[in-house]
Structure 1
């Protein structure tokens, strides 16, 4: 036998001998059914294998598979496969709870299944709509499940130019006015999305309610979370904001053209 292997073996034997001299470790060995005065690596291995085989049950097999899927969720970078793996893990743990007559475990993981299914459905809708963005579908109906409702009355100011921006809004009913450019916004329009892209997250205009209405809001933190969960949504959002910027540019160009025409007429 090579001297290196012999040295390692002797070191491990000394470590094992020293461990068995410890009263706490000796007590653990006795509880495991081992003799502290005659402990070998083969004896420990055989005893661990015996314990493992003795505890193999159908319920524990389901729990082991479920634990494997839960560990797999920690390695996943995107939400769709993570939700799928989580649902499978919950199903296995629910079966484990049923087979082991553990009502609390059974109910816990059984209730987690529809919650994960709902979130998965929402995420799949998001992915589908994000893909449609490349084809020109500019609807943002898919974003509504992630938003919260808020109501405004006539005369209310939603936010002012330069205010800190923390959320994006979608109009549902009512009318709103962008005061700086005197443009009315009706139902189905986004407001405050450009603040998400500005370096210091500041409002780029003042919005006032001119007719009682309802809006849906989503915080930039939630928007950022969705943005990074699915890169396609990032593209979708950029298309939306680019469209708004192009509309603003077109509006300014028409305004400049009108002012130039008026100046030309005055000087003619």
Structure 2
């Protein structure tokens, strides 16, 4: 036991001695190509200049530009500029790998290019479709790539009034009924978007399946993620949901007007 402790102590001492020797200022200066006995600012500057000039190659310039754009992705707050900067950075890093003969670097960054391009195209399409929604197209089918499918049978309850809400629905097949107001929702209609906007995220109505079908769902967390990635999408989404809210108000106004017309008629029939 004592022998093992002595061996361990000897090994640690050797490691520390070697580390201390390698980290001596004089040895580091020699490795940098400087004379420990003649250290001046001019000598340091000239040596650094020599190192820089010796490494000015096309491959290293590509790596430098790629690094600049990589840092830019860390400072970018929205998704579209981030993807663009990432694609440019990947292109330059791939160029560095090709020029330097580094196959691993070339393949990694080359394969990242189509991935970023696909995500960028997806986000631009999302913004474009959201913009068209403010021009009269109230369909939300362009959210499908971000949604998951769920099936319902007749009699199933999708959501109940006043319960906690955490997702939005898009009807694809079947028919669904908003029980409080007796309105049927055919395929292609949006449900549950108001719960996303209410302060306490509560359902404003009960929706029941009256004909077998399936819907697409997206969580409010995912909607928030898309919004923060591209605030422009958030603006158009608010415009779209505001339009739907105005449609609901107009529907209620028509119902109230019809009831007012029906009341005098009922009174007159009772008098007769």
TM-score range, shorter chain: 0.7 to 0.9
* 1:163 matches 2:156: no
* 1:132 matches 2:132: yes
CA distance in 2, matches of 1:229, 1:55: 38
CA distance in 2, matches of 1:147, 1:170: 9
Change (3 A) 1:168 1:26: farther
Name the counterpart of 2:232. 232
Moved more, 185-194 or 161-170: 161-170
CA distance in 1, matches of 2:33, 2:217: 63
1:97-246 to 2 correspondences below 5 Å: 97-246=97-246
CA distance in 1, matches of 2:134, 2:77: 23
Any unmatched runs of 5+ in structure 1? 1-21
Secondary structure of the corresponding residue to residue 188 of structure 1:
coil
Name the counterpart of 1:18. none
TM-score by length of 2: 0.82
Secondary structure of the corresponding residue to residue 154 of structure 1:
coil
Secondary structure of the corresponding residue to residue 128 of structure 2:
helix
Moved more, 43-52 or 186-195: 43-52
Shift of 1:115: 0.8
Shift of 1:147: 1.8
CA distance in 2, matches of 1:50, 1:104: 29
CA distance in 1, matches of 2:78, 2:219: 21
For the aligned residue pairs, the C-alpha RMSD in angstroms reads: 2.1
1:51-70 to 2 correspondences below 5 Å: 51-70=51-70
Change (3 A) 1:25 1:81: same
Name the counterpart of 1:91. 91
TM-score by length of 1: 0.83
Deviations along 1:48-78, one digit per CA (max 9) or x if unpaired, are 1212222223221211111111122233343
Aligned length: 247
Preserved contact between residue 152 and residue 209 of structure 2 (Cα < 8 Å)? yes
Secondary structure of the corresponding residue to residue 203 of structure 1:
coil
Any unmatched runs of 5+ in structure 2? 1-21
CA distance in 1, matches of 2:59, 2:52: 14
Moved more, 70-79 or 60-69: 70-79
Shift of 1:116: 0.7
CA distance in 2, matches of 1:163, 1:101: 60
Shift of 1:128: 1.9
CA distance in 2, matches of 1:103, 1:164: 52
Change (3 A) 1:240 1:82: same
* 1:82 matches 2:82: yes
CA distance in 1, matches of 2:156, 2:100: 59
Shift of 1:90: 0.6
CA distance in 1, matches of 2:178, 2:28: 74
CA distance in 2, matches of 1:63, 1:29: 27
Secondary structure of the corresponding residue to residue 74 of structure 1:
helix
Shift of 1:23: 5.4
Shift of 1:170: 1.0
